[in-house]
Amino acid sequence: MTEILDVHSHILPGIDDGAPSGKMSVEMLRTASEQGIRRIIATPHYSAFFQNTDPGRIRGLCRGLNRKAVKEGIPCRVYPGQEIMYSENALERLNRGELLTMAGSRYILIEFEPSVPYSFIYMAIRNCATQGYSPILAHVERYRSVYAPGKAQELIGQGAHLQMNFRSIVGRWNDDTARWCRKMLKQKNIHFLGTDMHNMTTRTPDVTRPLKWIERHLEADYSEQILWKNAAMILADKKIQ
Ligand SMILES: [Fe+2]
């Protein structure tokens, strides 16, 4: 079975719009592990709606979920992280230790409003890199301003890493987003994939169909990079080759 390291999830209970209960967190963890997901970075929101500024709470919830995983024999472990709605203020909070990087590394997962202008993302990536962080653009397919030719590559050149959601790869035949996602993957512009799981109904840990597409269309070496190897570099706090 293909092993997967998931860098984007809302699996921790009662902390954002993700898992509503500890019971569902365990259910999500079990379903994820049944599909080969072996490690998950929990990335609860920091945004206007969810002001999660207590890293101790996030770390504690990860420890609790890992204890349950051991008890239930689920072969998957959870690491603390955060999905940060970018602003200069958020970067200051990060510097003060009020927000979490990815699994204690210099990598940070940042998101924007879907309508964000390209120039704003560009500036944000520069700001993160200048302050010593390795920014990962969460669900890059959500930002239409990055679809213009050469823009994704330009952001990568400025130090950005691009994360795509598994389910965005498998839209319908006339789905612009899916088409762009597949093109980006074939051009090897994507560094990480994530489930962005929120629950067991609408945004689940299911990766069956996206995995099939990946196996059929991408080179084995590159697949291994985006499913595991690159994300393992986050846990090791090393640069991606
Ligand atoms: Fe998310």
Spell out the residues 6+ positions from residue 99 whose beta carbon is closer than 8 angstroms to its own. 46, 52, 53, 55, 82, 84, 90, 93
Instruction: Specify burial of residue 219 (Cβ count, 10 A radius: 0-12, 13-18, 19+).
Output: exposed
Phi, psi (5° rounding) for residue 44?
A: -60, 150
Read off the pLDDT of residues 41-59 as tens digits, 9 standing for 90 and up. Answer: 999 999 999 999 999 999 9
- Cα–ligand 1 centroid distance for 28 (angstroms): 15
Beta strand 45-46 with 107-111: parallel, antiparallel or unpaired?
unpaired
Torsion of CA 27, 32, 35, 36, to 10 degrees: -130
Burial of 229 (0-12, 13-18, 19+ CB in 10 A): middle
What element of type H or E holds 79?
strand 77-80
Question: In whole angstroms, what is the distance from residue 65 CA to residue 68 CA?
Answer: 5
pLDDT at 172: 73
d(CA 137, CA 125): 9
Cβ-contact 32, 133 below 8 angstroms = no
Measured in angstroms, how far is the CA atom of residue 141 from the centroid of ligand 1? 13
Question: How many angstroms separate the alpha carbon of residue 42 from the centre of ligand 1?
Answer: 10
How many Cβ atoms sit within 10 Å of the Cβ of residue 118? 16
The residue count for the chain: 241
CA–chain centroid gap for 93, Å, is 20
Owner of token pair 């955060």:
82
Rounded distance between C-alpha atoms, residue 38 and residue 46, angstroms = 25
pLDDT < 50 stretches in the chain: none
* Cα–ligand 1 centroid distance for 8 (angstroms): 6
CB-based contacts of 106, cutoff 8 Å, min separation 6 = 132, 133, 134, 237
From the candidate CATH numbers 1.10.150.120, 3.40.50.720, 3.30.70.270, 3.20.20.140, the one assigned to the domain spanning 4-236: 3.20.20.140
Q: What is the greatest pairwise CA distance in the chain? A: 49
Distance of CA 138 to the CA centre of its chain: 6
133 sits in which H/E element: none
User: How far does residue 96's CA lie from ligand 1's centre (Å)?
Assistant: 23
CA of 188 from ligand 1 middle (Å) equals 22
Strand pairing report for 107-111 and 134-137: parallel
Distance 198 CA to ligand 1 centre (A): 8
The domain segmentation of the chain, as residue ranges, is: 4-236
